[in-house]
Amino acid sequence: MNPRVKGLLTVTAVVGAACAGLWVGQSGLVRLPAPFGAITSDAASPEGFGPVIYYRDPGGKPLYSLTPKTNSAGQPYVAVLASTDTHFEPIEKPVVANAGANSGERKIKYYRNPMGLPDTSPTPKKDSMGMDYIPVYEGEESDDGSVKISLSKIQRTGVDTVAVSRRPIVRNIKVPGIVAIDERRIAVVAPRLDGFIENVASVTTGTLVKQGAPLVTVFSQELLNQAARFMIEQYPGQKSVTGAGENGAGLVGARRRLLNMGVPEEYITRIERDRLVPNEFVIRAPSNAVVLERNVVEGQAITSGQVLFRLADLSTVWILADVPEGDIGALQLNQEVKVTTRAHPGRVFKGKLLVIYPVLMKETRTARVRIELANADLALMPDMYADVEIATGSKDDVLAVPASAVIDSGARQVVLLDKGDGRFEPRDVKLGRKGDGFYEILSGVSENAEVVVDGNFLIDSESNLQAALKGFSAVPSSEVAP
């Protein structure tokens, strides 16, 4: 066969096959497999419902639009409804307000702004960004100010509730302190006459001395003169130097002069027993104390009123602590205080709050308090640092809620009551003391009421949104479009 004729027959056969395939496809006698028939008319898919979310390319390309448009071939973009879009919760088919009363499905009251703005519409509409308004159904709002949230959303956000109960509200105030000497237990050793130091006991600064222990031996000519007069006047019937009679008035006066000079009783007893005037007398420690200062040496001349020793009794000490201004009102006198120190880890000293200084230090905005505690073993030393813990509050049970249950805006305090079935009601409360993570409730809720402790900010935002929407005039049901 001529090659030219052969080529002409081949072209004719290809054209005929193409025409036949076109006729078969248009007539619908043969349906293409899935890879070639993926792009099909939306009329064949189940009917969707809900608002239009966005528009997609009719050719299946990853191209989307918030508004209707056409592609380069002039084909219109396909609308994607809420029921056909990807979602994680079941979408219920809405029923408008004028639907049959026996339909058993929820009815739309109105549509609200998707961004939470206080704007409603009786009919479906879009905002300035092309987003569809969200339908609000009957039963989602109530006149008592409560808000209803779906159970699935409650589970996802971890909403948790607890019952309002009674418990003591105690708050521990922890402040730094310092050990100080009790001012009432400081003493000085100072003679009331002139003389000379004959001997000084083996005591130095920091030495602990017992009550009655000898400190110094003093010689005084003035004392010898008064002691001699006392010895002369003590014999009955003998006229005293001062001219006292036999009634003993001069004897009493002499003894008193010796005592006024600070002479110990033992010195006078010695004169009466031995009928001799000792040349010196001993000054002893007035109490169990620690020597803070020693200002005397042997042979030193002393004068009346000169301080020889400065002593301090440390069996009881003070703790001076600075309490912040905001905590002063919670303090009470005579309440128990716990004190710990770094020098004695694990040991707790207990004392009482005796004084709240009536002056506030403006530099630190704190007030000083004074705590007194026993220190029999002298474990607490002056100027030692201490950690002070003051338990404020009362041990009586009061109505209380966890601190996380309270939404405090500054002007008002709110808790969210769980009314069951996913409905929550914001309730204003009046708060009292706070301590240990709890607030005292003075009014607003009753015992055993369930309040939200986790996820309450989500519910509060929903409540505020619905309150804003209620500020607008209600939309009659008959005005809602089908």
Q: Which of 74, 75, 93, 73 is nearest to 83 (CA)?
A: 93
Query: Model-level pTM greater than 0.85?
Result: no
**pLDDT confidence tier of residue 186, bands split at 50, 70 and 90:** very high
Percent of the chain past pLDDT 70, that is, above it, reads: 72
Every domain of the chain and the residues it spans: 1-30, 37-93, 147-168+396-470, 172-181+314-392, 192-307
100 has pLDDT over 60: no
101 has pLDDT over 70: no
Domain 172-181+314-392 has CATH 2.40.30.170: yes
Residue 381 Ramachandran class (φ > 0 left, ψ -120 to 50 alpha, else beta): beta
**pLDDT confidence tier of residue 36, bands split at 50, 70 and 90:** very low
Which of 80-84, 169-173, 469-473 comes out lowest in average pLDDT?
469-473
pLDDT digits (tens, 9 = 90+) for 339-364: 999 999 999 999 999 999 999 999 99
**pLDDT confidence tier of residue 109, bands split at 50, 70 and 90:** confident
Q: Which of 115, 136, 138, 112 is nearest to 125 (CA)?
A: 112
Q: Which of 373, 313, 385, 312 is nearest to 344 (CA)?
A: 385
Q: Which of 21-25, 149-153, 203-207, 245-249 has the highest mean pLDDT?
A: 203-207
| Strands of the 309-312 sheet, one edge to the other | 186-189, 309-312, 289-294, 208-209
Q: Which residues contact 317 (CB under 8 A, 6 or more apart)?
A: 179, 180, 181, 182, 372, 373, 375, 380, 382
pLDDT digits (tens, 9 = 90+) for 383-422: 999 999 998 877 788 899 998 888 887 788 888 888 887 7
CA 316 centroid distance within chain: 34
Identify the residue with better confidence: 455 or 67.
67
Residue 45's pLDDT is what? 44
Q: Which of 270-279, 373-382, 470-479 has the highest mean pLDDT?
A: 373-382
The CATH class given to the 147-168+396-470 domain equals mainly beta
Residue 136's pLDDT is what? 75
Q: Which fold has domain 192-307?
A: OB fold (Dihydrolipoamide Acetyltransferase, E2P) (2.40.50)
Taking residues 290-302, report their average pLDDT: 94
Largest CA distance in the chain: 187
Count of C-beta atoms within a 10 Å radius of residue 410: 5
Which of 194-208, 287-301, 421-435 comes out lowest in average pLDDT?
421-435
129 has pLDDT over 90: no
Taking residues 49-64, report their average pLDDT: 81
pLDDT digits (tens, 9 = 90+) for 452-462: 888 766 666 65
Tokens standing for 132?
Answer: 């569809």
3-class secondary structure for 359-376?
A: EEECCCCEEEEEEEEECC
Identify the residue with better confidence: 213 or 170.
213
Q: Which of 371, 184, 217, 383 is nearest to 289 (CA)?
A: 184
Mean pLDDT of the chain: 79
Is beta strand 195-200 parallel, antiparallel or unpaired with respect to 301-302?
antiparallel
Tokens standing for 211?
Answer: 């009550």
Helix (H) or strand (E) holding 432: strand 430-435
Residue 22's pLDDT is what? 53
Residue 105's pLDDT is what? 65
Residue 420's pLDDT is what? 81
pLDDT digits (tens, 9 = 90+) for 241-266: 434 444 444 556 778 888 888 888 88
Identify the residue with better confidence: 23 or 331.
331
Strand partners, 266: none
Residue 359's pLDDT is what? 93
DSSP codes joined into one string, 180-202: EE-GGGEEEE--SS-EEEEEE-S
95 has pLDDT over 80: no
Residue 246's pLDDT is what? 45
Q: Tell me the CB-side half-sphere exposure of residue 287, using CA atoms within 13 A.
A: 14
Count of C-beta atoms within a 10 Å radius of residue 249: 14
Residue 282's pLDDT is what? 92
Residue 480's pLDDT is what? 42
Could you give the CA distance from residue 478 to residue 482 in angstroms, rounded to a whole number?
10
